[in-house]
């Protein structure tokens, strides 16, 4: 199959959507498909990059477009409609797969459609609703709904997202659930030392629940945490850590290379994902932690976050925003090394059974084939 993925960014830009997109592109190329990925540029990455698969070094490419600025965290790519038209003509994809939320890309697609351009079938991967940008949601909502209406199919990562999404309410009859998956290496090669430190990985933004994590640390003096990631709350977080009694127990690393994240995973007792609301729809880092043999402490959200693991077997779920419950869960695993080890072993087993990248790609290819066969 020839597939064009229309995304927001692509690694080395960090983030869950970006990691998913890379896993999809590389997995599809490895399966023999011809893949083009069209995204905004960033982080000094080259404008054109090959996507490789085993034995297929030229099976795909990433095209990064120049960015003229940001609007509510969305990259402004003024050339997007024209570039999309050029890419469609050059590579003639059988399907276009749009990753949402990405309202400017959705608008680019709808402009071509309104202009009478002959377009291949559109499918959508709906990663999350727009939950915090109220003005933006009001302005771009009709565009997003137009894309969802025009789509031959929509997929999501969890049943909870399919049932709970406000934006998908009208389209649930054409929504397919395809759980995320990642490659097992380097995570499955980690031999966890199950040290005393906990690990947080994610953007430093309000909905990630960092205030709850700091509250848990202040309630329990024995807890230590490595924080990996960056974002708008980074400066305030660093000031808070440096000014109080947390500076000897909290290390704020920023984004780190994968090799360093592997090291931090290997020395951790558990991953902590204290997110507050539906902005966290899955928590892809849970898969990396489970593959690494770590237990997960996560918020009990009405999203796919709580569906990823198995309650009390691989994952401890806490009420979102409850620093005391988070502290109790962390302290419990710190005190009970045998339980932490058993949960980590169960998590690695569940990862291998359910969340390997090959499972995600196989499900996606079957879904593509059904859509193409339906015409």
Of the candidates 169, 272, 255, the one whose C-alpha atom is nearest the C-alpha of residue 204 is 255
- Could you give the CA distance from residue 86 to residue 197 in angstroms, rounded to a whole number? 50
Q: Is the peptide bond before 136 cis (omega within 30 degrees of 0)?
A: no
Residue by residue, DSSP assigns 197-248 as EEEEES--SGGG-HHHHHHHHHH-TT-EEEEE--STTHHHHHHHHHHSTTTT
Strand-pair partners of 297: 272, 316
Provide the pLDDT confidence category of residue 141 given band limits of 50, 70 and 90: confident
Does the pLDDT value for residue 344 go beyond 60? yes
Residue 114 has pLDDT above 60, yes or no: yes
A 10 A CB-CB count for 363 gives 16
Token pair 């933004």 is found at 205
Average the pLDDT over each of 126-135, 216-225, 264-273 and give the range with the smallest value: 126-135
- pLDDT band per the 50, 70, 90 thresholds, residue 134: low
Architecture of the domain defined by 2-183+356-374 = 3-Layer(aba) Sandwich (3.40)
pLDDT of residue 71: 74
Residues, the chain:
375
- Which pLDDT belongs to residue 76? 86
Instruction: Return the ∠ at Cα 364 (arms to 165 and 366), rounded to 5°.
Output: 120
pLDDT at 10 over 50: yes
Q: Tens of pLDDT along 47-96? A: 999 997 665 555 799 999 999 888 777 788 888 999 999 999 999 999 99
Cβ–Cβ < 8 Å for 226, 197: yes
When the pLDDT of each residue in the chain is averaged and rounded to a whole number, the result is 93
CATH superfamily of 187-354: Glycogen Phosphorylase B; (3.40.50.2000)
> Global pTM?
0.90
> Where along the chain do the CATH 3.40.50.2000 domains lie?
2-183+356-374, 187-354
């Amino acid at each position: 199959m020839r597939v064009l993925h229309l995304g927001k960014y692509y690694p080395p830009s960090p983030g869950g959507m970006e990691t998913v997109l890379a896993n999809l592109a590389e997995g599809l190329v490895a399966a023999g498909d011809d893949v083009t990925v069209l995204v905004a540029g960033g982080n000094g990455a080259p404008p054109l990059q090959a996507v490789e698969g085993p034995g297929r070094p030229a099976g795909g490419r990433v095209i990064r477009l120049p960015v003229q600025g940001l609007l509510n965290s969305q990259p402004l790519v003024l050339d997007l409609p024209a570039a999309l038209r050029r890419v469609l003509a050059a590579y003639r994809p059988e399907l276009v797969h749009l990753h949402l939320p990405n309202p400017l890309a959705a608008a680019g697609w709808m402009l071509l459609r309104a202009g009478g351009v002959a377009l291949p079938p559109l499918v959508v991967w709906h990663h999350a609703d727009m939950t915090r940008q109220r003005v933006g949601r009001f302005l771009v909502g009709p565009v997003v709904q137009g894309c969802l209406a025009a789509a031959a199919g929509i997929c999501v990562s969890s049943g909870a997202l399919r049932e709970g999404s406000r934006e998908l309410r009208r389209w649930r009859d054409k929504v397919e659930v395809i759980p995320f998956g990642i490659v097992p290496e380097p995570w499955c090669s980690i031999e966890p030392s199950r040290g005393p430190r906990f690990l947080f990985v994610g953007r430093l933004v309000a909905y990630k629940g960092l205030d709850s994590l700091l509250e848990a640390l202040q309630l329990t003096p024995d807890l230590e945490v490595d924080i990996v990631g960056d974002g708008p709350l980074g400066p305030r977080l660093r000031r808070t850590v440096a000014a109080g009694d947390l500076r000897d127990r909290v290390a704020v690393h920023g984004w780190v290379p994968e090799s360093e994240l592997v090291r931090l995973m290997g020395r951790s007792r558990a991953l902590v994902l204290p997110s507050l609301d539906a902005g966290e729809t899955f928590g892809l880092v849970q898969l990396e932690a489970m593959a690494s043999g770590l237990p997960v402490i996560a918020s009990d959200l009405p999203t796919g976050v709580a569906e990823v693991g198995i309650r009390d077997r691989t994952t401890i779920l806490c009420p979102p925003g409850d620093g005391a419950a988070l502290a109790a869960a962390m302290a419990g695993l710190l005190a009970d090394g045998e339980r932490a080890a058993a949960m980590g072993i169960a998590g690695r087993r569940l990862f291998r059974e359910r969340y390997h990248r090959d499972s995600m790609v196989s499900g996606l290819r079957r879904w593509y084939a059904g859509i193409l066969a339906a015409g």
